[in-house]
Amino acid sequence: MKRLITLLFLSAICIARIFAQNIEISGNLIEADTGEEVPFATVMLLNESDSTLLEYAISGTDGHFVFKNVKNRDYLLKISHITYTPYQKHIKKTDGKSINLGNLKLSPIAEVLMEVVVHEAQAPLLFKGDTVEYNAATFKVAPGSTVEDLLKKLPGIEVDADGGIKSMGKDVSKVYVDGKNFFGDDPKMVTQNIDAEAVSKVQVYNDKSEQEKLTGVKDGTQNKVMNLELKQEYKKGYFGKASVGAGWGDGNFIPWLAKGSFNRFNDKYQLSVIGYGNDINSTRTDWEDMQEFKGSSAFTYDSGDFGFGGSRWWGGFGSGLYWDGNGFAQNYGGGVNFNYDNGKTILYTNYTYNQINSKADIFANQKTMLTDTSYFMTDTSYNANKNFSHSLSARLEEKIDSLDYIIGRINVNFTGTRKNYENTALYQAANLDLINQYEELSNSKLNNINTDALVIYNHKFMKPKRSFSISAENKNTIALEKENEENMNDFFNATTEDERIKVASSQNKNTNNLKSSVMYVEPIGKRFTFSTFYNFAMNTEKLSHEAQDELQSNAAIDSLSLISQRDLFYNRLGVAFAYSFNGLYINAGAAYKNLQQNGKYTRANVDGDPLRRNYGSVIPYFELNWQSPNNIWMSFDYSYDIDEPDFAYLQPISTNMDPLYVVNGNPNLSYTSSHNTSAMFGYHNRASFMGAFVSLDYSYQPDLITYNQKIEYVDGLGYRNVRTPEIVHGGHEAGANIHLELPIVKSKFTTHLGFRYGYDQNPIFINGVENLSQSNSFNPNITFQINLSDKLTWRINGRYGYTTTTYKSENYFNNNKTTNYNVGTSIKWQMFGRTYLEANYKYNKYLNNEFTNNPDMHILNVSIKQYLGKGNKFELRLAACDLLNQSVSIAQYASSNTVYYRESPTLSRYYMLTFSYNMKGFQDKGRNRPEIDF
State residue 234 phi and psi, 5-degree precision. Answer: -85, -15
Per-residue x/- marks for another protein, 458-477, CB under 8 A? -------x------------
Q: How far is the CB of 795 from another protein (least distance, A)?
A: 11
**Cβ distance to another protein smaller for residue 341 or 481:** 341
Task: Tell me the torsion sign for CA atoms 247, 251, 253, 255.
Answer: negative
Q: How far is the CB of 747 from another protein (least distance, A)?
A: 4
- The answer for residues whose C-beta is within 8 angstroms of residue 420's C-beta and 6 or more apart is 382, 383, 384, 385, 442, 443
For 812: left if phi > 0, alpha if psi spans -120 to 50, otherwise beta; the answer is left
Q: Considering only residues 106 through 165, tell me which ones interact with another protein, judged by CB under 8 A.
A: 109, 111, 114-115, 117-119, 121, 123-128
Q: How far is the CB of 549 from another protein (least distance, A)?
A: 57
Q: Which of 429, 540, 928, 934 binds another protein (CB under 8 A)?
A: 928
Task: Provide the 10 A C-beta neighbour count for residue 61.
Answer: 12
Q: How far is the CB of 427 from another protein (least distance, A)?
A: 53
If one asks whether residue 532 binds another protein (CB under 8 A), the answer comes out as no
Question: Are the C-beta atoms of 61 and 102 separated by less than 8 Å?
Answer: no
Strand ranges, E, within 788-907: 792-807, 816-832, 835-848, 856-868, 874-881, 888-895, 898-905
Beta bridge partners of 454: 409, 473
Q: Give the C-alpha separation, 934 to 931, whole Å.
A: 7
Q: How far is the CB of 789 from another protein (least distance, A)?
A: 13
CA atoms within 13 A on the CB side of 833: 5
CA angle 860, 865, 866 (to 5 degrees): 160
DSSP label at 96? S
Q: How far is the CB of 593 from another protein (least distance, A)?
A: 22
Question: Are the C-beta atoms of 583 and 626 separated by less than 8 Å?
Answer: yes
**Cβ distance to another protein smaller for residue 132 or 650:** 132
**Cβ distance to another protein smaller for residue 113 or 705:** 113
Beta bridge partners of 572: 535, 593
Q: Considering only residues 567 through 606, tell me which ones interact with another protein, judged by CB under 8 A.
A: 578, 580-585, 587
Q: Give the C-alpha separation, 420 to 407, whole Å.
A: 42
Q: Which of 270, 352, 597, 701 binds another protein (CB under 8 A)?
A: 270
Q: Which of 2, 140, 526, 612 binds another protein (CB under 8 A)?
A: 526
Q: Give the C-alpha separation, 806 to 818, whole Å.
A: 12
Q: How far is the CB of 750 from another protein (least distance, A)?
A: 8
Q: Which of 11, 21, 34, 495 binds another protein (CB under 8 A)?
A: 11
Q: Considering only residues 35 through 94, tell me which ones interact with another protein, judged by CB under 8 A.
A: 39-42, 44, 46, 50-53, 56, 58, 61, 78, 80-83, 86
Select from 429, 373, 431 the least CA-distant residue to 811.
373
Q: CA dist 59 to 26, 39, 109, 283, 847, Å?
A: 10, 5, 18, 74, 89
Residue count at the site for another protein (CB under 8 A)?
87
Q: Considering only residues 771 through 830, tell me which ones interact with another protein, judged by CB under 8 A.
A: 785
Q: Considering only residues 299 through 358, tell me which ones interact with another protein, judged by CB under 8 A.
A: 299-300, 339, 341, 343
- Choose the stretch contacting another protein; rule: CB under 8 A; options: 470-478, 563-571, 678-686, 835-843: 678-686
Q: How far is the CB of 783 from another protein (least distance, A)?
A: 12
Q: How far is the CB of 12 from another protein (least distance, A)?
A: 8
Centroid of chain to Cα 922: 22
Q: Considering only residues 611 through 670, tell me which ones interact with another protein, judged by CB under 8 A.
A: 623, 625, 627-631, 633
Q: Considering only residues 475 through 514, tell me which ones interact with another protein, judged by CB under 8 A.
A: none
Q: How far is the CB of 30 from another protein (least distance, A)?
A: 17
**Cβ distance to another protein smaller for residue 5 or 879:** 5
If one asks whether residue 931 binds another protein (CB under 8 A), the answer comes out as no
Question: Are the C-beta atoms of 917 and 250 separated by less than 8 Å?
Answer: no
Q: How far is the CB of 295 from another protein (least distance, A)?
A: 5
Task: Provide the 10 A C-beta neighbour count for residue 236.
Answer: 9
- The answer for residues whose C-beta is within 8 angstroms of residue 810's C-beta and 6 or more apart is none
Alpha helices in 821-914 (DSSP H): none
Per-residue x/- marks for another protein, 687-726, CB under 8 A? x-x-------------------------------------
- Choose the stretch contacting another protein; rule: CB under 8 A; options: 408-416, 754-762, 842-850, 922-930: 922-930
Q: How far is the CB of 263 from another protein (least distance, A)?
A: 8
If one asks whether residue 747 binds another protein (CB under 8 A), the answer comes out as yes
Q: Which of 107, 211, 221, 291 binds another protein (CB under 8 A)?
A: 291
Q: Give the C-alpha separation, 787 to 792, whole Å.
A: 6
